[in-house]
Structure 1
């Protein structure tokens, strides 16, 4: 594993419940478009890579697909099994999937390439398990991101927190542009045809305290930054967060947070 992969394991260890209460409610927004891009319907043999707490898997099962799912974090595997009893769910890590060549009609990965240290190798492995003519669809967060994506990071910086040394980044030679063109180029490099990327923008609605709960629990790289200085640092960042939330509060007291994702798709 790369240093980035090691960091990701550390960040997400034991975080399935916290993720389900917070960021999973954001990431579910792209699920219908993701499944449509992969042409998932009744009878589709689908692999959901990085299944998290099971939103994609459950939605695909509801479409009548035959779904298998895999995630690196055992708590996520358990959560997906609860969310989608009809799916076979395993523990596994990219870029080595525990499946045979050409086993699936389609593979999807919802906000997974954000979390791997070797994105191209991950896509090549996903391509390996798809039959000829099958489809792959992935989502990532676009960079630069929308204002809602930066709220917690701004609060941490305003509190004087800095990114700790253990929060690694993807090696420059393995990274790619987090844009529609960048995703399309990565899919093409992985050997996929008809590769393309498109943006999906929306405003995520959340209670301010619920939205804070994720990073305060250490979820994601920004959560690692928020919690890096202990309880005092978390409290300082929360004070800044409460102020900055005023930019996004709607009349009903909920946050309205602009987000932009990139959906990439291609054919084997």
Structure 2
């Protein structure tokens, strides 16, 4: 029998497999918003030895390269690694909580919305601490517990269409979960051995066309994507109709959505 953690990790790998292009064309711009703050918090500058974990299409890694840092990056999905390499990032495939690097090899480690995709976040953080030199900095982002109006829009469309939530959406094992609050994430880092931990809550407005925002969910990305793509064709048509109707009330004069989002950005020292 597959345990909860293994099931979570397996579902994550299946969700991202073959979806690098769909992610790049939809939710990647949303996830890029906190990148500069993430790098600032980790102290990334010219000459810094940086590891970007869960690099995705390489947004944070490429931004670190632009700062003159010496960057390595990893992702669990080969398609994401290929996309990052296409941007000039030195990326390779690796799955947390195991990294192919030696102890103390980096001055800074960053993970932009990566920790929420691993079944053992505490073990993952311990591995990040292992590859940091003493005094090195870690900075990670995860989604907070609410205030994500883009996801709420998609969720409202599913609800209005009577979409059925799949019975086996992957969830973290209770012993692995943590409060999605500033204190909760800071304490998670402290529990992994980091000192001087703290957490802020970036808030921003994401702008996207209704079609761009829909394509991420329609491609099966994220929990909302799993819900959308599990519907019958008839129900999916109703979801899209409801989405188009609801999205019309959130667009401005240029036809783009105005979507409020918030994240948690935590940091600590090895």
TM value normalised by structure 2: 0.96
- Counterpart in the other structure of 1:156: 158
Displacement over 2 Å in runs of 4+: 144-149, 230-234
What's the offset of the Cα at 1:147?
2.6
- Counterpart in the other structure of 2:101: 99
What's the offset of the Cα at 1:161?
1.5
Structure 1 residue corresponding to 2:145, chosen from 116, 120, 143: 143
Are 1:65 and 2:80 matched, yes or no?
Answer: no
CA contact (8 A) 1:49 1:107 kept: yes
Give aligned pairs, total.
Answer: 266
TM value normalised by structure 1: 0.96
CA contact (8 A) 2:113 2:143 kept: yes
CA contact (8 A) 1:155 1:237 kept: yes
What's the offset of the Cα at 1:170?
0.7
CA contact (8 A) 2:54 2:75 kept: yes
* Cα distance between partner residues in 2 of 1:231 and 1:219: 18
Are 1:24 and 2:63 matched, yes or no?
Answer: no
- Counterpart in the other structure of 2:39: 35
What's the offset of the Cα at 1:144?
2.2
- Counterpart in the other structure of 2:58: 54
What's the offset of the Cα at 1:2?
1.9
- Counterpart in the other structure of 1:8: 12
CA contact (8 A) 2:164 2:231 kept: no
For structure 1, the residue ranges without an aligned partner over 5 or more in a row are none
Within 5 Å, give how 1:112-261 maps onto structure 2. Answer: 112-261=114-263
What's the offset of the Cα at 1:235?
1.6
